[in-house]
Homo-oligomer: A and B are copies of this chain.
Amino acid sequence: MKDNVKKQYAYPFSEGNGHDKKLLGGKGANLCQMTQIGINVPPGFVVTTDACLDFLENNKLPDGLMTSVRDEITKLEAATARTFGTGTDPLLVSVRSGSAMSMPGMMDTVLNLGLNDETLAGLIAQTGDERFAYDAYRRFIQLFGKVALGIDDEKFDEHFGAVKAHVGVKADIALEAGHLKEISEKFLEVVREETGKGFPQDVMLQLELAVEAVFRSWMGKRAVAYRKEFHITTDMANGTAVNIQTMVFGNMGDDCATGVGFTRNPGTGENEMFGEYLTNAQGEDVVAGIRTPKPLQQMQDEMPAQFERLSELQNQLESHFQEVQDYEFTIEKGTLYCLQTRNGKMNAAALVRSSVEMYQEKLLTKQQALLRVDPEILEQLLHPSLDPDSRVEAIAKGLPASPGAASGKCVFDADLPEKRGGSGEKVILLREETRPDDIHGFFAAQGILTSRGGKTSHAAVVARGMGKPCVAGAEGIIVDVALRQAIVGSSIIHEGDIITIDGASGDVYLGAIATIEAHFSDELNVLLAWADEAAELKVMANADTPDAARKAHEYGAMGIGLCRTERMFNASDRLPIVIDMILANSSDDRQEALDKLLPIQRADFIELFSVMSPDPVTVRLLDPPMHEFLPTEQQLIDQVESLRTYRDVVRGRQTALSAIASAPPLPQPFGDLSEELVESVLSKKLEMLGKVRELHEVNPMLGHRGVRLGITYPEIYAMQIQAILEAAMECVSKGIEVRPEIMVPQVITSEELLHVKRTVDKLTKRFKDKPSFKFGTMIETVRACTRARKLAGIAEFFSFGTNDLTQATFSFSREDAENKFLPMYNDSGILQDNPFEILDTQGLGQLVEMAATHGREVREDLKIGICGEQGGHPESIRFCHHIGLNYVSCSGPRVPVARLAAAHAKFREKDYVVPGH
């Protein structure tokens, strides 16, 4: 009988449950809330997401839906004292999408619905404003034509442009009633031509088609791409609601206006009025960037009473929603209406600042202040900005629409960045203005530059949401897509030329400009200090050199969780010694090379320990296979080849020299080397080639590396351990508190650990005072996970190497997988995420949890963490908190993200369910 319980598909704003975003969509729910707390919202109602899902499943509107809609319309007619589809005071409505998650611009909207021949006449009669009426009509025909009838925008734009050209005006507002009437008539012809039928006169049919169109747009290409990009699952939003709302008009004269506002500055977070408006315009004019709007502040002079109302509205919205609001308003003949509101999308800096200030203003608790900042967004703060010392002259200036600086090759359409960006090239998307259809171009571009539109234009809003730099409305740039070029004064930017934009200043430059790294704002430091107070997980950094350690320290790392010693070997003054060590044919020769490396490593460690003092520094002993330090076989073959050629030429030249005066010139790249020197280089290269071939491995990931190498060539680990211990003692002798930790990689059995432990013990005995340190192991083989109890008998800490563990668990070679099949697996939904970025809690997570539990069974105070790319990912951090790890370690710039994520993990621990369990 349950099925027979009739579902309610439509709720008036005055009745809908404003907290049920799943059912009513975010926009609809907020309209209900606003209506119910007394904000002046044009009356309307919401058609539920349930109806949408039903429609998408059955490909027809559910039974009874249109009856409910008609009922609600009847109520609207009563409330507004207007009539729908007839009469001289016709009711016009907007039809807007609105799902549980905000997807701005991704779905369809129809405005001014309710116009037909009769109501158009009525509207003219009623307002006495023919221009207004035809303007509304032509807008309606185009939007409805596009959205509900599927007619290409360009078909309409052509006629619109032609009329403007013919009349000789640039601004839409300069068109007169007659022109707009002509345009409307042409538009009606377009509809007839394209659909073979006249424009629908039945306004309920208009409404039905519009609702269907909005429903359909949920599965539209743009919307689907957007949900994928932002990981919006059906759990989070399923289907869209439709909001049907009485139209109010900002374009009925100079006592009318329309605008959008943020309750705080979304670029800086400053508590100031922020937004733009246009007098005598409809909302779409503002966001479309067709006319350049005025800042809200200007309203204080132009419409002081309405400005007062607007201020009140802002306070009302923030104190009710406890969040910065992004709202739309219209002033119709002096009356302020709020058309919609939603949580404001802000960039990271703005979020952080507003969080701190809203706590100070007692609008939020610390926990709320922290939770409203998505950890991932802090990445933006780590974006570079332009070096203020680079004294290059800007070629153009636009609005600083989304902060950050970016350089890249200039491209003129949204498909190109996707193609080029996909291959790793950096591009800047340059457009006259952008539209929702361009969204895929945004994902792949480094930054966006438009020649038209304001700070709330599509380009600006979307770029800010993505944290990408954007300069909008740089009007000095004339874009010619057909010629694939842009003219700026006397210069021409061709497609492919490198440009730089500075979203903080609005400046545009030719060429790539030097950038400097972001520095932490005071607010960010305040916020992250709150996070550290709240979090249980510590956040360490992966850093391999003293420089990297210094940076990690600035990012707030609480120690070094992973120092990959081999990276110290790669410096150009060290590599030759390392190569000698590898080429050594005897233990003695190897020792000779190691003796040279010892003081270098020791000096590095001293600096590293000093920088991080008194925090722990975990040093991983040599891990990669030997051949990684050598050139590739092909490189060596090429080098040998050119050396031989060179030698032959040198020989010929010497012979020639000894005979006569004229000798052939020497080829590059070796310069004037003697034959002996060439021979000696050649013989070294041949030796290296032999070694490279000897060391060749079929699957180097699974080869002779880590502790296997350390056991085969015990001298290497002995040198490294000695360097660590001596460095620690040296620091202690200087009064620097240090906490070194020695970590063994690639362990599969406790026997290996014991093996290395014996070396450690032997070397420790050399010191009168035993240096204080921890001895532990990476857990980066699956077998180590299964042997955790045994390993914990020897190791004082575990560090999960989740990069290698992921490879072993999936049997995916990262390099191969990400190039060959992983994207396809993600696209087709076989795998939800890239497990190299987000810890695979369903599979690998089980092993990690098991190993952690087993390890602690044996050693209660076992210190456990993860180091690996996933350590900086909020979802992974949540899991690590859940299973009780002590720390995560990630790359330096991810440390702030991880610190905040660790606090979130703590706050949200109660409602955590391991995904897929």
* A residues at B contact (CB < 8 Å): 697-704, 708, 711-712, 746, 748-749, 751-752, 755, 780-783, 786-787, 804, 807-813, 815-817, 820-821, 824-825, 828-831, 840, 842-844, 846-847
A786 in contact with B844 given A708-B821, A749-B830, A824-B711 (CB within 8 Å): yes
Contact A811 B702 (CB under 8 A): yes
Q: What are 18 A-B pairs at a CB distance below 8 A?
A: A697-B813, A698-B700, A699-B699, A699-B701, A699-B813, A701-B701, A701-B702, A702-B812, A703-B816, A704-B820, A708-B821, A711-B821, A749-B830, A751-B831, A752-B830, A782-B809, A786-B843, A786-B847
Contact B809 A781 (CB under 8 A): yes
In the complex, how many angstroms separate the beta carbon of A709 from the nearest chain B beta carbon?
8
Once the chains are docked, how many angstroms separate the CA of A843 from the CA of B782?
Answer: 8
Contact A807 B846 (CB under 8 A): no
Contact A843 B699 (CB under 8 A): no
Knowing that A704-B820, A786-B843 are A-B contacts, what are 5 other residue pairs whose CB atoms are under 8 Å apart, sorted by A's residue number? A699-B816, A711-B825, A782-B811, A783-B843, A808-B808
Of A711, A712, A809, which is in contact with the most chain B CB atoms at under 10 Å from its CB? A809
In the complex, what residue of chain B is closest to A781 when comparing beta carbons?
A: B811
Contacts of A781 in B (CB 8 A): 809-811
Contact A698 B844 (CB under 8 A): no
Once the chains are docked, how many angstroms separate the CA of A786 from the CA of B840?
Answer: 11
In the complex, what residue of chain B is closest to A752 when comparing beta carbons?
A: B830
Contact for A783 among B712, B828, B844, CB less than 8 A: B844
Contacts of A780 in B (CB 8 A): 811
A703 in contact with B820 given A786-B809, A786-B843, A815-B698 (CB within 8 Å): yes
In the complex, what residue of chain B is closest to A701 when comparing beta carbons?
A: B699
Contacts of A816 in B (CB 8 A): 697-700, 702-704
Contact A840 B698 (CB under 8 A): no
In the complex, what residue of chain B is closest to A747 when comparing beta carbons?
A: B811
Contact A751 B830 (CB under 8 A): yes
Once the chains are docked, how many angstroms separate the CA of A809 from the CA of B812?
Answer: 13
Contacts of A829 in B (CB 8 A): 751
In the complex, how many angstroms separate the beta carbon of A827 from the nearest chain B beta carbon?
11
A702 in contact with B821 given A751-B830, A782-B808, A783-B843 (CB within 8 Å): no
Contact B704 A843 (CB under 8 A): no
Once the chains are docked, how many angstroms separate the CA of A712 from the CA of B700?
Answer: 25
In the complex, what residue of chain B is closest to A699 when comparing beta carbons?
A: B813
Once the chains are docked, how many angstroms separate the CA of A907 from the CA of B749?
Answer: 31
In the complex, how many angstroms separate the beta carbon of A587 from the nearest chain B beta carbon?
15
Once the chains are docked, how many angstroms separate the CA of A60 from the CA of B445?
Answer: 81
Contact B821 A704 (CB under 8 A): yes
Contacts of A813 in B (CB 8 A): 697-703
A831 in contact with B749 given A810-B783, A811-B804 (CB within 8 Å): yes
Once the chains are docked, how many angstroms separate the CA of A810 from the CA of B781?
Answer: 6
Once the chains are docked, how many angstroms separate the CA of A782 from the CA of B699?
Answer: 18
Contacts of A830 in B (CB 8 A): 711, 749, 751-752, 755
Once the chains are docked, how many angstroms separate the CA of A598 from the CA of B181?
Answer: 68
Once the chains are docked, how many angstroms separate the CA of A810 from the CA of B373?
Answer: 41
Which 7 pairs from chain A and chain B are nearest by CB? A699-B813, A702-B813, A783-B843, A703-B816, A786-B843, A781-B811, A751-B830
Contacts of A749 in B (CB 8 A): 830-831, 843
In the complex, what residue of chain B is closest to A696 when comparing beta carbons?
A: B816
Contacts of A846 in B (CB 8 A): 786
Once the chains are docked, how many angstroms separate the CA of A821 from the CA of B703?
Answer: 9
Contacts of A751 in B (CB 8 A): 829-831
In the complex, what residue of chain B is closest to A845 when comparing beta carbons?
A: B786
In the complex, how many angstroms separate the beta carbon of A18 from the nearest chain B beta carbon?
38
In the complex, what residue of chain B is closest to A842 when comparing beta carbons?
A: B787
In the complex, how many angstroms separate the beta carbon of A900 from the nearest chain B beta carbon?
30
Once the chains are docked, how many angstroms separate the CA of A702 from the CA of B780?
Answer: 16
Once the chains are docked, how many angstroms separate the CA of A708 from the CA of B786?
Answer: 27
In the complex, how many angstroms separate the beta carbon of A86 from the nearest chain B beta carbon?
54
Once the chains are docked, how many angstroms separate the CA of A843 from the CA of B752?
Answer: 15
Once the chains are docked, how many angstroms separate the CA of A828 from the CA of B843?
Answer: 34
In the complex, how many angstroms separate the beta carbon of A96 from the nearest chain B beta carbon?
36
Once the chains are docked, how many angstroms separate the CA of A816 from the CA of B697?
Answer: 6
In the complex, how many angstroms separate the beta carbon of A689 from the nearest chain B beta carbon?
14
Once the chains are docked, how many angstroms separate the CA of A708 from the CA of B808?
Answer: 16
In the complex, what residue of chain B is closest to A830 when comparing beta carbons?
A: B751
Contacts of A699 in B (CB 8 A): 699-702, 813, 815-816
In the complex, what residue of chain B is closest to A702 when comparing beta carbons?
A: B813
Contacts of A844 in B (CB 8 A): 783, 786
In the complex, how many angstroms separate the beta carbon of A627 from the nearest chain B beta carbon?
11
Once the chains are docked, how many angstroms separate the CA of A811 from the CA of B787?
Answer: 14
In the complex, what residue of chain B is closest to A822 when comparing beta carbons?
A: B708
In the complex, what residue of chain B is closest to A783 when comparing beta carbons?
A: B843
Once the chains are docked, how many angstroms separate the CA of A847 from the CA of B786?
Answer: 8
Once the chains are docked, how many angstroms separate the CA of A813 from the CA of B840?
Answer: 23
Contacts of A824 in B (CB 8 A): 711-712
Contacts of A755 in B (CB 8 A): 830
Once the chains are docked, how many angstroms separate the CA of A807 from the CA of B844?
Answer: 16
In the complex, how many angstroms separate the beta carbon of A531 from the nearest chain B beta carbon?
32
Contact B809 A843 (CB under 8 A): no
Contact for A821 among B712, B820, B825, CB less than 8 A: B712
In the complex, what residue of chain B is closest to A824 when comparing beta carbons?
A: B712
Contact A840 B701 (CB under 8 A): no
